[in-house]
Amino acid sequence: MKISVLDWYTVTINGDIPTTQLEELGDVKIIPLTTHEETAANIGDADIVLCNKVIITKEIIDACPNIKYIGIFATGFNNVDIAYAAEKGITVCNAGQYSTNSVAQQIFAYILDRFNRIRDYDIAVKNGEWESSPTFSYFPVPTYELSGKTLSIVGFGSIGRRVAEIGSAFGMNIVVNTRTQPKDCPYEVTDLYTAVEKADVLTFHCPLTDKTAGMINSELISHMKSSAILINTSRGGVVNEADLAQALNSEKIAAVYIDVLEKEPMSPQTPLKGAKNCVITPHTAWAPFETRQRLVDIVCENVRAWQKGSPQNKVN
């Protein structure tokens, strides 16, 4: 079978993930990156299309009638016209839960950055401030223990559950808001605004839907403590960026840590770019080496399962 991998450079850093597994699946064409204008030509007569963020529309599907399978190097699949693919008999499979540990790890990198202020103290030491301190211990910037603080988690899928486990290990009080009542949940489950009001740390792990689009807005923020921090590693569209920037600049909340934006790569006009106490990472929570290797493993296993007639992780 012919296989086109459309945006391999979104998965690997300087070739650190080998293509060996992909080459074992069939006649593979590895393409570093694909623009929308190049998509149909780069797919060509391939039977299998593997991509991360390349948009596969109805028009692309019609232009490439050999497509039988689309595999996505991601959990989200909004870049593919799922309904039309199903109509054309094309199987679409994603890679769920590959990034649970890495995203949860990044959440606590953010939290510890804020509560322990390591960056601030490193700068202070390098600027010679400790050398001129009258006491042996120099701590002009307040730091705080996580134990006893409330961690509110919006969305309780695999990542939300892992974040709750780690927070609980730190002695944090866990509050959960989710669409459906989880079974045997050891944590407090409550409505959205109660979770927001209680939070010292408010972190979002929900999908982008019509209901969640722009949900982090001035109304929601008005229910937060002024000392609270907000974290978003879910989808950029969950945030009203202008409202969030205004809240930061007017000190309605203490800090924001985000890994996703509505427009990626980041636009120079992004309202959050110059906002006070806003830490932005460039969509890296999913990107540790082990996580990306696991992602490729899942995508390849999905293809093998489909080739054997038993597709897994099918989304359409």
223, 283, 301, 304: the catalytic one is: 283
Residue 239 contacts residue 214 (beta carbons within 8 Å): yes
Reading the block at residue 20, the tokens are 């060996």
Burial class for 30, CB neighbours closer than 10 Å (0-12, 13-18, 19+): middle
Q: 162, 235, 292, 294: which one is catalytic?
A: 235
Kindly name the residue from 24, 145, 264, 290 that is annotated as catalytic: 264
- For residue 82, which phi and psi values (nearest 5 degrees)? -60, -45
Which among 229, 215, 230, 236 has a CA at the least distance from the CA of 283?
236
Is 283 assigned a catalytic role? yes
Q: Which helix (H) or strand (E) holds 5?
A: strand 2-5
Would you say 156 and 179 are in contact if contact means Cβ atoms under 8 Å apart? no
Catalytic annotation on 264?
A: yes
Q: Is the peptide bond before 134 cis (omega within 30 degrees of 0)?
A: no
Known catalytic residue at 36: no
Give the three-state DSSP class for 30: strand
Q: How far apart are CA 171 and CA 50, in angstroms?
A: 42
Six-digit token string for 245: 């920037």
Enzyme catalytic residues: 235, 264, 283
